Amino acid sequence: MVDNTRLSSRISNFLFGIYSVTCILYSASIALISDDIDNTNNELILNNKKLLLKMKLPFDFTIFPLYEFVIVAQFVFECFVALTAGMLMAFSAALVLHIGSQIDITCQELIEIPSYKGEISYVLKNIIVKHQRILRLSENVKYLFLYTSLIQFLSNILVICFLGFILVNALGTEKGSTIFTKCFPYYVAANCEAFILCYTGEYLMFKNESIIEAAYDMLWYNLNPQDSRIVLLILIQAQRQLTLSAGNFVTLSAETFASMQKISASYISILMAMY
């Protein structure tokens, strides 16, 4: 339980950290690194004052203090969008880790049943009820993030694919360092987000199997026949898989993450051949 709490905290801190670094490096690259292509666009840059996000404003933003206000507003907007995405990922990971903690508690109760001095059948029935609640909670979490996971899954594939294509094309060019400073942190953040998304699904499937292992490892043969049949009910109930999916199209797992990387690499090679 404590380990899962620490892991949830580390995931949250890592996500907020990687998104914050991405926003800061992108904004710094826009402000500090000159771009000849951008400098030719007088509608976006006046008097060498560049915006963090390219947009057309109905007023002269180069006048003090409008320029400073616009820059601060754009930076705050970048951080808000990035941290909101990180918060959503951290929230889903925390819910999955909470389910894993409840499964660990259930497994520990199963293992300690043979040493229980009271009425074992009552304890086993409570474990069945608790396991049913865990299954319902897992289903609720699955459907809560069903479509958001699909959007994140598809967007991560597109981001990894196109940013990878941009980074590969930037190798050996004059503006390669500028492009790497802008795009590489975002590329790393997209990969980390995809990994955590698939890791939570893999973690949930692994924890589901731990209930079956705990039921097998307990000294069930020392129980009376009635209690042994209750343990059999727990085993049958544990056959129900706990999974997370992206819109019921793809089951999130470590294998899915590997497939995502292969698909992205394949599309990058196709784009390179067509470029």
Q: How many domains does the chain have?
A: 1
Q: Using pLDDT thresholds of 50, 70 and 90, give the confidence band for residue 219.
A: confident
78-118 per-position pLDDT tens digit: 888 888 888 888 888 888 888 888 888 888 888 888 777 76
Q: Using pLDDT thresholds of 50, 70 and 90, give the confidence band for residue 3.
A: confident
Side chain identity at 139, as an amino acid letter?
Answer: E
- Cβ pair 208, 241 in contact under 8 A: yes
Residue 209 predicted with pLDDT over 50: yes
Query: Tokens 């959007």 appear where?
Result: 151
DSSP state of 64: T
Q: Which domain holds residue 68?
A: 1-274
Stretch among 19-23, 67-71, 221-225, 247-251 having the lowest mean pLDDT? 221-225
Stretch among 133-137, 151-155, 201-205, 230-234 having the lowest mean pLDDT? 230-234
Mean of all residue pLDDT scores within the chain? 81
pLDDT given for residue 55 in this prediction:
76
Q: Is the torsion defined by CA of 124, 130, 133, 135 positive or negative?
A: negative
Q: How many CB atoms lie within 10 A of CB 102?
A: 19
177-192 per-position pLDDT tens digit: 778 878 888 888 888 8
Q: Using pLDDT thresholds of 50, 70 and 90, give the confidence band for residue 40.
A: very low
Phi, psi of 245 (to 5 degrees): -135, 160
Q: Using pLDDT thresholds of 50, 70 and 90, give the confidence band for residue 39.
A: very low
Residue 47 predicted with pLDDT over 60: no
Side chain identity at 98, as an amino acid letter?
Answer: H
- Cβ pair 238, 215 in contact under 8 A: yes
High-pLDDT (> 70) share of the chain, %:
92
Q: Which of 190, 201, 192, 196 shows the shortest CA–CA distance to 248?
A: 201
6-16 per-position pLDDT tens digit: 888 888 888 88
Biggest distance spanned by C-alpha atoms of the chain: 86
